[in-house]
Structure 1
Amino acid sequence: MLGGITGELVEEEWVDFGHNRTGTIRRARGRADYLLTLDADHVLRQDAPLPRLTATSYMLRYDTPGTQRTVSSTSCGVTWTGATRGSPTSTPARTRPTSRRTSTRWQEVYCALLESGVLRAERTDDRPGAMDALSRAWEVRPQRLEVCYELASRLRVQGRYRTAHALLARAAGRPEPDDLLFTRSWVYRWGLLFEYSITAHWVGEHAEAVRACDRLLALPDLPDGIRQQVVANRRFSAPYVTAVPRPARSKARKKGSRR
């Protein structure tokens, strides 16, 4: 059943998440320096050589937004608590000074305020409350721009193009921060630029709108639905520009894929 993998398969009666994971960790102590904890539906992809491990635990980044502490030293006494998903704790804990930049606490506050703002806007139609939560999130973690996307896209839908454009002009093109918690990479790759291309048209900056559309069309990983919308949007601004360059073609389009 292990397919030639060295190890031992242990089966036990299910109680809850915390109980069963903690029992598995205790069995593994003394057999390895570190433990890798995965759910049954996880697929692990290694993109680079594993570095020398020195910390008590590590967070692994998901392909989808989020991270989880899944690599832990057997020396730090990790246990899991919780009946459903559970969360890891370690004793004795090794502490070290943390800063606003490195601590995940500020990331947690940011994510909580961001989700609060989105829920207020979408489920209760509490626009003032949504804007308050979203703006507070940005104050907490100004490096994170998902909140800028949410603010600008909602202002744009309300017809407040100049306010949305002013936000996007400062944010589009900024790099994704190296945060651990729930980053949305697509926002940094094309989301902000897509919104900027729209607001640029509505505030009369047609040359900027065309340039933004061309940058979007040059992205090989731009989703097909967004690509089609960008092509359509470009046609609205192009007549206002004296000399419109041809859209750049992406270099990594697969054979037979839509253009």
Structure 2
Amino acid sequence: MIVKNESAVIERCLASIREVIDYWVICDTGSTDDTPERIHKALEGVPGELHRRPWVDFGTNRTEAITLARNKADYILVLDGDMTASYGKGFKRALSLDSYLIRFTGDLDYRQRLILSGRRTYRYVGAVHEYVETAADERFELLDTLTVTHHGDCGVSSGKPQRYLEMLMASFAKDSKNSRTVFYLAQTLRDLGRVDEALEYYEKRVSMGGGWEEEIFYSLYQIAVLVDRHNDWGTGFQAYVRAWEYRPSRLEPVYHIVHRLRRRREFHTAIVFAHPALSQPYPSNDVLFVHRWMYTYGMPLEYAYCCVELGLYEQAITACDIVRARSDVPERALAEANRLRARAMAEDSGSRAKPRQNWT
């Protein structure tokens, strides 16, 4: 772990993992608060090392931290101070490979390589949005028995997008052909509200090709989102279709198409897109920014809205029941599913009621 001025959050992080660690290595890169003292207090009784190192960049400092941790334990768990971990009992006993991709909880589903073998040599690549460089013979898999929550409330969060932009621009100046740098430049410019520049770099990432297919898909998807917000619907629709055609297993573009059509009261067209999507499996092997909520309740509710408007009440009830059957949807979505279901049932009951006939 690398830390700096995280006294407000570090004890929460360490409390979440204290029971499963046998040794710890933390590098402080220049705290001016009492972060080091809080670390020692939180981990009292657990052997470990606190190092003080000058800040260089994320890739360099993380590499230094995991190098210091090498051979101190069978596995290294990499966290930031504003993260917490949740895990099942005995999850460590199942570890046998070299590394594991860990899922971050929340509506945005993504994974990072956070569990590394303590016996192998690793290096982080990139000044910011760094990643672990692995050998060709690395044995790894997705791990679901441990998840991480990134709270995003560390002491150095303010001004982060601007700082990241400066670091990324410096990296781009050194190597303009690095597709990962180009992708995260687009992401950061988007976060800063610089839409035209973000679109330029997303398109650049797409045109570069190669590298990670999920990056290309997400670039196409974000192009569509930004175009939809700032241009006419026809152009936005074409951009969503372009993203969907590239990676049809990902339904985020379809969700936006259905949502916009429903808002435009084009219900028949909306359900043509929505109905097949209800039975499409969740892309569980994708690890980059999957918008989980669109799959678990977003699409079923959009379909239910349209079905109610079209008098397809049984279909609306079925869609609502998809949401109601899940235990991982927020109360707001569950309440909306219940409301829509009740309305559909009432409308269905009314449509079936026959007026009394006067027989002679």
Whether TM-score is above 0.5 comes out as yes
Paired residue for 2:125?
81
Counterpart selection for 2:59 from 1, 4, 18: 18
1:166-199 CA-partner distances (Å, limit 9, x unpaired): 1111111433221222223222222111011011
Q: CA deviation at 1:111?
A: 2.1
Amino acid at match of 2:112: Q
Amino acid at match of 1:20: N
Q: CA deviation at 1:165?
A: 0.4
Which one has a larger percent strand, Structure 1 or Structure 2? 2
Paired residue for 1:156?
262
In the alignment of these two chains, the number of paired residues is 234
- Listed as ranges, the matches of 1:1-259 within 5 Å are 1=40, 2-47=43-88, 49-50=91-92, 51-55=94-98, 57-64=99-106, 65-74=109-118, 76-90=120-134, 92-94=135-137, 105-122=212-229, 124-178=230-284, 179-234=286-341, 236-242=343-349
1:110-141 CA-partner distances (Å, limit 9, x unpaired): 2222222112212x224334323322322232
Identity %: 32
1:15-63 CA-partner distances (Å, limit 9, x unpaired): 22122111112222333343221111111111252323223x3211100
Q: CA deviation at 1:208?
A: 1.6
Secondary structure at the counterpart of residue 49 of structure 2: coil
> In the aligned structure 2, how far is the partner of 1:93 from the partner of 1:235?
55
Q: Quick one: structure 1 residues 212 and 18, their matched pair in 2 at CA, closer, same or farther if it must change by over 3 Å?
A: closer
Of structures 1 and 2, the larger Rg is shown by 2
- Is the contact between residue 297 and residue 333 of structure 2 (CA under 8 Å) also seen in structure 1? no
> In the aligned structure 2, how far is the partner of 1:75 from the partner of 1:133?
46
- Is the contact between residue 324 and residue 334 of structure 2 (CA under 8 Å) also seen in structure 1? yes
- Is the contact between residue 173 and residue 193 of structure 1 (CA under 8 Å) also seen in structure 2? no
- Is the contact between residue 296 and residue 323 of structure 2 (CA under 8 Å) also seen in structure 1? no
> In the aligned structure 1, how far is the partner of 2:325 from the partner of 2:95?
38
Secondary structure at the counterpart of residue 10 of structure 1: strand
Amino acid at match of 2:223: S
- Is the contact between residue 304 and residue 315 of structure 2 (CA under 8 Å) also seen in structure 1? yes
> In the aligned structure 1, how far is the partner of 2:101 from the partner of 2:299?
27
TM-score by length of 1: 0.77
Amino acid at match of 1:29: R
> In the aligned structure 2, how far is the partner of 1:129 from the partner of 1:95?
43
CA RMSD of aligned residues (A): 2.8
Which one has a larger percent helix, Structure 1 or Structure 2? 2
Secondary structure at the counterpart of residue 8 of structure 1: strand
Q: Quick one: structure 1 residues 80 and 140, their matched pair in 2 at CA, closer, same or farther if it must change by over 3 Å?
A: same
Q: CA deviation at 1:85?
A: 3.7
- Please list every run of at least 4 consecutive aligned residues from structure 1 whose deviation after the TM superposition is greater than 6 angstroms: none
> In the aligned structure 2, how far is the partner of 1:10 from the partner of 1:219?
45
**Bigger shift: residues 218-227 or 107-116:** 218-227
1:187-218 CA-partner distances (Å, limit 9, x unpaired): 22221110110111223312322333344445
Q: Quick one: structure 1 residues 59 and 129, their matched pair in 2 at CA, closer, same or farther if it must change by over 3 Å?
A: farther
- Is the contact between residue 110 and residue 137 of structure 1 (CA under 8 Å) also seen in structure 2? yes
> In the aligned structure 1, how far is the partner of 2:227 from the partner of 2:118?
42
> In the aligned structure 2, how far is the partner of 1:130 from the partner of 1:4?
58
Q: CA deviation at 1:152?
A: 0.9
Q: Quick one: structure 1 residues 81 and 172, their matched pair in 2 at CA, closer, same or farther if it must change by over 3 Å?
A: same
> In the aligned structure 2, how far is the partner of 1:204 from the partner of 1:114?
32
Amino acid at match of 1:61: R
Q: Provide structure 2 residue ranges, at least 5 long, that are not aligned to the other structure.
A: 1-39, 140-210, 352-360
